[in-house]
A and B are shown apart, each in its own frame.
Chain A
Amino acid sequence: MITTIALIACGVTAACAVWRLVVGPTLAGRIAALDVALISLMGAIAIHAAETDERAWLDLLVVIAIIGFTATVAVSRFVEHEAESS
């Protein structure tokens, strides 16, 4: 029961992030929304792994953390160049 509430909370966070992704005026705000969505996904994976006691899921967390960081760094370069082109 506790974990379902926690998973629903992570879902609400992801919904907020998707809303900011859709509405968000600036490109950088959208990237921050992707970050929040990725981290709520990581939280949901950790909660699910804690509930069902499956060790296989935990390696995924490290991968998502590093990929989220790399994506943010890569796209923040586009934010700088976007202003010059437009």
Chain B
Amino acid sequence: MSLLPGIIILIGAALNVIAGIGLVRFESPYARFHAAGKASPVAFLVIALGAGLEMGGTAALHLAVAAVGLVLTLPVGVHLLFRAVHRTTPGDHLRVDDLRDAEAKRFG
């Protein structure tokens, strides 16, 4: 395990721990979704970069496919969670909520 990929993997693992801590410490579900939807894919991207540097050609391709697959799909899933929570909870987490007026107008 040469030095540079190891350092990159360590940085990715540290980002991953930050995502986990963000998931634990944030109060409102919306803030937790940021930790789950954004911090953890970035952490995996950095880990995949380090592992790709370490392992070379075809394996780096596998990792690139997994990283692109994750980054493209996971924010959509977490956005659906956002929308589901936004439509069901009365909205006490948010101070400013422009979407609620638009939804009220549209759904009547």
What is the interface of chain A, defined by CB distance below 8 A to chain B?
Answer: 2-3, 5-7, 9-10, 12-17, 19-20, 26, 28-29, 31-33, 35-36, 39-40, 42-43, 46-47, 49-51, 53, 55, 58-59, 61-62, 65-66, 68-69, 72-73, 76-77, 79-80, 82-83
Contacts and interface: CB of A to CB of B under 8 A. Distances in A.
Contacts of A77: 84
Interface in B66-83: 66, 69-70, 73-74, 76-78, 80-81, 83
A49 B20 contact: no
Interface in B14-50: 14, 16-17, 19-21, 23-24, 29, 32-33, 35-37, 40-41, 43-44, 47-48, 50
Given A3-B6, A28-B84, A49-B59, 14 more contacts: A6-B47, A9-B17, A13-B20, A20-B24, A29-B32, A35-B40, A35-B78, A43-B47, A46-B63, A49-B55, A50-B5, A61-B62, A62-B66, A76-B81
A48 B65 CA distance: 18
A26 to B, nearest CB: 5
Interface of B: 1, 5-7, 9-10, 12-14, 16-17, 19-21, 23-24, 29, 32-33, 35-37, 40-41, 43-44, 47-48, 50-51, 54-55, 58-59, 62-63, 65-66, 69-70, 73-74, 76-78, 80-81, 83-85, 87-89
Contacts of A9: 10, 13-14, 16-17
B9 A39 contact: no
